[in-house]
Amino acid sequence: MINFWINKSSLKEATLIPKFYDPEIESYFSSLKEEYNFFTIRELVEKEYISCSTGHEIGKMAYGTGDIPFIRTSDISNWEIKTLPKQGVSEEIYDSYSKKQDIQKNDILIVRDGTYLIGTNCMVSDLDEKSLYQSHLIKVRVKHNEIFDEYIFFLLLNSPIIQRQIRNMQFTADTIDTIGNRFYDIRLPIPKINKNNTSASLIVKDLLKNRTRGKLLIKNLPFLLEQCLKENNIKAFEDFEKEDILKLVEKTPQDTITSEFGKFEAFWVTKESLANDIILPKYYDPEIQDELKDLEKTCDLVPVSDLIEKGILSLSTGDEIGKMAYGTGNIPFIRTSDFSNWEIKFDPKQGVSDEIYEQYRESQDIKENDILLVRDGTYLIGSSCIITSHDVKSLYCGGLYKIRVNNFNGFDPFLLLGIFNTYIVKRQIRTKQFTRDVIDTIGKRIEEVILPIPKSYELRDKISKSIKELVTERIDARIEISKISNSILPVIS
């Protein structure tokens, strides 16, 4: 929309933001009146079709007291909660809030505050039930009714017209954007005849279940893959995949990103053992050396620098294109916060124009199966994902490494992605990060990281195929969910 007129009597609560009265939405809703009923979130609550509540701010002193996830706005991506949320709390703190928050499977968490993240949402899985969530999130629980179930509500919430309403309603409160209580004014068109809802619900239920199973595997992979490397076979991986999803949840450790930082307390090193005058204790973590020694029997222990020198790997960083380029178009500009659980977000925070993309396209040279790894950013350092055919037309920022496997002889990108996400490699990355200016980074120390590469070519192949299948199935499911949510309502003209 460019401009339009409204009467003074049409103003709501003296709100003078033009997008709040978007006439295209009103016109669109008018075109649906014959086949759809309209309900606001408030009306759905009053009719007891749904219930809504917000979380709590537990205070920063509670952060890091334990491994029970405290879900924050940045922990939700691609309709799921990250496998390793940033903050965790103790059992005591969890017990003091768990009954009030009452998180259950199939609850929907929606970001209420946070500018770009507002409207981002996920459905709680079996893996996420033992968690707490912050006050910037709204929890919606769909109660039994004859109009829709939780999956249809989820699809409607993610349809373009509802997301557009959410964007139009957000406003700045103090220093942060929010949708506040305007959330209850969101209108949902519900079909008068639910002819397509049942099939859509069943399909999405199955797709979300498949993504949850994959998420469970990603969360357990750091330990499973190391077991495969030590035992020189893929059995641990295959056995895990065959398990019932509820049994997988029981086997899955409850942990947060702090599990990558290690637990050693004190040890001695000689002056001669210091490297480049580095005196950070974590840099010399003796547990890492012990683990690498255990892996030496079945793996070749190869520093990243050796792989670069031999031409097997190539590393490069992106560009900082400047904030003036943000929002100039729809081509994704991938930043450190734009991927989780091995995937790039389907809705990256920033987009750029075709002109800016063409300016950087050749120098960045993004190709399918390139790996992006976070170089700068404290908690995010070491996070990685693999570029798929859906992500090739993108640019990436200077805080990321692009890693390309040039030699595919027994060593390919999916094997590398798995190795980069083993516990032993993630731990090494954490020990080598340092603070530069105001932000943490791993800098060129990434080249010091030692990769345990299976000596067995058969095992390399099996790991690669398993990782590729895992990534492909999850991304295919995500794309299918996106298609269904985009088609659950007629397309806005």
For 471-490, the DSSP string reads: HHHHHHHHHHHHHHHHHSSP
Q: ∠ CA 321-327-332 to the nearest 5 degrees?
A: 70
Residue 256's pLDDT is 65
Residue 121's pLDDT is 97
Distance CA 244, CA 241 (A): 8
Residue 234 pLDDT greater than 70, yes or no: yes
Given a contact cutoff of 8 angstroms between Cβ atoms, the answer to whether 458 and 325 are in contact is: no
CATH topology of domain 210-480: Adenine-n6-DNA-methyltransferase TaqI; Chain A, domain 2 (3.90.220)
Distance from CA of residue 341 to its chain's centroid? 5
Greater pLDDT, 458 or 248: 458
Tally Cβ neighbours within 10 Å of residue 352. Answer: 21
> Residues of 171-186 as b/e, b for ≥16 C-beta within 10 angstroms?
eeeeeebbbeebbbeb
Q: ∠ CA 241-243-248 to the nearest 5 degrees?
A: 95
Distances (CA, A) of 303 to 91, 260, 268, 476, 492: 39, 19, 24, 34, 53
Are domains 8-195 and 210-480 of this chain identical in fold? yes
* pLDDT tens digit sequence for 55-109: 999 999 999 899 999 999 999 999 999 998 889 999 999 999 999 999 999 999 9
H/E element holding 413?
helix 413-420
Give the closest residue to 30 by CA, choosing from 143, 151, 187. Answer: 187
Average pLDDT, stretch 38-53? 97
Q: Give the tokens for residue 336.
A: 């450190």
CATH 3.10.20.30 holds for 8-195: no
Q: Is the dihedral of CA 429, 430, 435, 439 positive or negative?
A: positive
Per-domain residue ranges of the chain: 8-195, 210-480
Distances (CA, A) of 122 to 107, 115, 147, 202, 285: 8, 17, 21, 17, 37
**N-term to C-term CA, the chain:** 12
H/E element holding 305?
helix 304-309
At residue 13 the predicted structure's pLDDT band, cuts being 50, 70 and 90, is confident
* Residue 187, phi-psi category: left (phi > 0), alpha (psi -120 to 50), beta (remainder): beta
Q: Give the tokens for residue 272.
A: 């001669």
Distance CA 246, CA 255 (A): 18
Average pLDDT, stretch 217-242? 90
Average pLDDT, stretch 32-48? 95
Give the closest residue to 125 by CA, choosing from 241, 229, 213, 237. Answer: 213
Distance CA 188, CA 10 (A): 21
Q: Give the tokens for residue 240.
A: 């895990």
Residue 263's pLDDT is 58
pTM for the structure as a whole? 0.90
Given a contact cutoff of 8 angstroms between Cβ atoms, the answer to whether 148 and 200 are in contact is: no
Distances (CA, A) of 468 to 1, 228, 388, 425: 43, 17, 11, 19
